[in-house]
Structure 1
Amino acid sequence: MQTQSLWEHTLTFFPQFLSALKEHTSPDATVAVIGASDGKFVLPLAAAGYRVIAVERDPLALHGGEVRLPGFVIARAMGLIDRLKLEGLYDRVQVVEEDFLASKPLDRPCDAVWTSCSWHYSANHHRPLAEFVARMQLLVRPGGLFGAEFMMPVEPRHHLVEHYTSPEKLSRYFISAWHLLLTLRTTEFTERAHLGRLQDHTHRMGLLLAARTPGPPHLQEKKNS
Structure 2
Amino acid sequence: METQSLWEHTLTFFPQFLATLKEHASADATVAVIGASDGKFVLPLATAGYRVIAIERDPFALHGGEVKLPGDTNAHAIGLIDRLKLEGLYDRVQVVEEDFLQAESPQAHCDAVWTSCSWHYSANHHRPLADFVARMQSLVRVGGLFGAEFMMPVEQRHSHIEHYTSPEKLGHHFATDWNVLLTLQSNEFTERPHVGQLQDHTHRMGLLLAARTAK
> TM (normalized to structure 2)?
0.98
Alignment of 1:84-99 (within 5 A): 84-99=84-99
| Aligned amino acid, residue 190 of structure 1 | T
Q: What's the CA shift for 1:3?
A: 5.3
- Render the CA deviation track for 1:96-115: whole Å, top value 9, x for unaligned: 00000122223661000000
Query: Any unmatched runs of 5+ in structure 2?
Result: none
In the alignment, which residue of structure 2 is the partner of 1:23?
Answer: 23
8 Å contact from structure 1 (residues 2, 87) kept in 2: no
Alpha carbons of structure 1 residues 73 and 40: separation in structure 2 relative to 1, 3 Å: same
Match of 1:4 in 2: 4
Instruction: Give matches, 1:75-224, under 5 Å.
Output: 75-106=75-106, 109-213=109-213, 215-216=214-215
**What are the equivalent positions in structure 2 for 1:29-108 lying under 5 Å apart?**
29-106=29-106
| Corresponding residue SS for 1:165 | coil
In structure 1, runs of 5+ residues without a counterpart are 217-225
Q: Cα–Cα, structure 1 residues 107 and 90, in superposed 2: closer, same or farther, change >3 Å?
A: farther
Q: Give the 3-state SS of the residue equivalent to 1:180 in structure 2.
A: strand
User: Within 1, Cα distance between the matches of 2:164 and 2:108?
Assistant: 29
User: Who wins on radius of gyration, i.e. which is larger?
Assistant: 1
Change (3 A) 1:150 1:3: closer
CA contact (8 A) 1:32 1:55 kept: yes
Distance verdict in 2 for CA 1:108–1:208, change over 3 Å: closer
Instruction: Go from structure 1 to structure 2 and tell me whether the alpha carbon gap of 1:74 and 1:208 turns closer, same or farther (over 3 Å shift).
Output: same
Cα pair 1:36 1:55 within 8 Å, conserved: yes
Using the aligned pairs only, state the percent identity: 79
Shift of the alpha carbon at 1:2? 7.6
Deviation at 1:32, TM superposition (A): 0.1
In 2, Cα distance between equivalents of 1:4 and 1:27: 24
Structure 2 counterpart of 1:55, which letter? I
Call closer, same or farther: CA 1:2–1:119 in 2, change over 3 Å.
Answer: closer
Provide TM-score, normalisation by structure 1: 0.93
Measure the CA separation in 1 of the matches of 2:18 and 2:71: 33
1:130-176 CA-partner distances (Å, limit 9, x unpaired): 00000000000000000000000000000010000000000000011
Q: Would the aligned equivalents of 2:29 and 2:50 in 1 still touch at CA under 8 Å? A: yes
User: Which one-letter code corresponds to 1:154 in the other structure?
Assistant: V
